[in-house]
Homo-oligomer: A and B are copies of this chain.
Amino acid sequence: MASAQRLRARIREEVKQEIIDRARDQLRESGPGGLSLRRIMRDLEWAPSAIHRYFPTRDDLMTQLIIDGFNAIGDVAEHADAQVARDDYLGRWMAASRAVREWAVNHPHEYALVYGSPVPQYSAPEETVQPATRDKAVFGAILSQANAAGRVHLAPESGATTKAADEDLNRVREAVLPDVPDHIVRAAIVAWAGLYGIVSLEVFGHFNHMIEDRATLFDHAMAMLARGMGLGV
């Protein structure tokens, strides 16, 4: 009976999700290093060995969590962007970047898993690549569209370049910034690094005892970075 097979498959998925949820709980409590397969099964009141029916090894579970993390960031960025009028490019940048910050602040360990120091002994497989580009794609689309609409005003800067560096820019352009000229691609990378940098500094505790009103600073910073890209001048 086909429906019996479907039922089995559905239950299998539910159990898998239950394991992932528990893993995420543990991530929240003790970070990537504290993730223990045995503790997950203890939480579920199951035999420790049963987890290998769902995730053959610890790394397979890690991979799933990393993919989920990237997708969660991609989701909030896309959703925030979609709330703003299409031609309000500065507004879209602010909304999407604020959404990323908010998610990171509320999910510090999941953020650390994807954007923090690499997990030792673990090397991310191919399947994480696509989810990892989703957030970048959102920011890239905003700037590309602004550029296409003639709403990016940025004078080309001088500065030495190399063949390899030009190829790098082509690669980035092709991936997330269609039809955007070199100097704006560079500015976009700087803005992305700035966003990522300020979020990491906050989430990883480097603002402690120094900066309390982090949301206000963040808004100012994003506005400056937008100006650096020639957006909303």
Give chain A's interface residues, CB within 8 Å of chain B: 30-34, 112, 115-118, 120-121, 129, 157, 159-162, 164-165, 167-168, 171-172, 175, 186-187, 189-190, 193-198, 200-201, 204-206, 209-213, 216-217, 219-221, 223-225, 227-228
Contacts and interface: CB of A to CB of B under 8 A. Distances in A.
Interface residues of A: mostly helix, strand, loop or mixed? helix
Residue of A190, A201, A204 with most chain B CB atoms under a 10 A cut-off: A190
| Copies of this chain held together in the complex | 2
Contact of A224 (B115, B121, B186): B186
B198 A193 contact: yes
A24 to B, nearest CB: 15
A167 B217 contact: no
A213 B166 CA distance: 9
B213 A118 contact: no
A165 B216 CA distance: 7
A219 B168 contact: no
Residue of A162, A193, A221 with most chain B CB atoms under a 10 A cut-off: A193
Given A175-B210, A186-B220, 8 more contacts: A30-B121, A34-B120, A34-B121, A116-B116, A129-B209, A159-B223, A160-B219, A164-B212
